[in-house]
A = this chain, B = another copy of it.
C-alpha cells in the first residue's frame, strides 16, 4: 500500500467512550483514522437505522483538538453518514468498538457494535467489530494492540464479500491470553425478567434484568473460547435464511385461503 489506508472508526458506547479513543489511537498508527460515532450511548441498538428523523452532525473536540464527528443516530447510521456525507469516499476499513462488554452468542443480534461492522460490509467495505469482555473500567491497551495487528492483516488480506469479523478479547493481562480461536456464534441466551418499580410520582416502570445461561461446551464457541482465555474471532454474514427448513416447509403445501390448496 503506497498511501495510508482510510479507516472509519465508530462504536455504540458513544463518542465519549474510552474504548473508542483507544481504537482511534491504534488505527491512527496504521492509517488515516476518522471517527464518526453516536453522540450518546446506543448499546443494544441492534441494526437500527434512522429513517423517520433528521440526522445532525457535530464536530467533537478532545484534548484540545478535533477528534471526530458525533451523530444523533445509531452505529449503523454513523457508518452510512460517515461514508456518504462526511468522508464522501469509501474507506479501506470500518472498525467498531472497542465495546465495553462481550458481543457473543445471542448478544450478536442485539449489538450496535456488530451492526456498525455489518453496515460497513453491506457497503462493500472490510469491517471488524471489537469488544472487550468486561463491563468494568478496564485497560484497553492490549485490546487496542490486537486491533491494530488484526486491522493490518485485514487491510493486507481483505475479507470475502459479505463477511465481517466479530472479535471478542478477554479482559486479562496479556500474558494470560492463550492465543486466538476462530469461533462460531454460541447459543447462550438470557433468562430474563422485569423488575417492576414505582417512581417518585407513584407511576410504575419496568427494568429488564437477566442472567446469561451457557448452552455450549465446544471449544470453538465464542463464549467458551473466551472462558478458556482465548481471543474469539467469529466470521459473520447476514443472510438469515434458514435453509434447513426449506424442504420441510415446502411439504406443508401452503395455499391461499379460498384457493384450491387451502384447507380453511
Contacts and interface: CB of A to CB of B under 8 A. Distances in A.
Nearest to A76: B46
Contacts of A242: 160, 162-163, 235-237
Contacts of A98: none
A244 interface: yes
A203 B146 CA distance: 40
A49 interface: yes
Interface in A140-189: 145-146, 148-150, 152-153, 157, 159-160, 162-163, 174, 177, 179-180, 182, 184-185, 187, 189
Interface in A30-74: 41, 43-52, 54-57, 74
Nearest to A264: B149
Task: Tell me if A's interface is mostly helix, strand, loop or mixed.
Answer: mixed
Contacts of A249: 182, 233, 235
Given A118-B109, A208-B55, A237 B235 contact: no
Contacts of A162: 242
Interface of A: 41, 43-52, 54-57, 74, 76-77, 80-81, 84-85, 106, 108-110, 115, 118, 122, 145-146, 148-150, 152-153, 157, 159-160, 162-163, 174, 177, 179-180, 182, 184-185, 187, 189, 192-194, 196-197, 199, 203-208, 231, 233-246, 248-250, 252, 254-259, 261-264
A243 B184 contact: yes
Contacts of A237: 240-242, 244-245
Contacts of A245: 159-160, 163, 235, 237
A30 B197 CA distance: 35
B192 A80 contact: yes
Sort A-B residue pairs by CB-CB distance and give the 5 closest, nearest first.
A46-B46, A46-B47, A54-B205, A46-B48, A237-B242
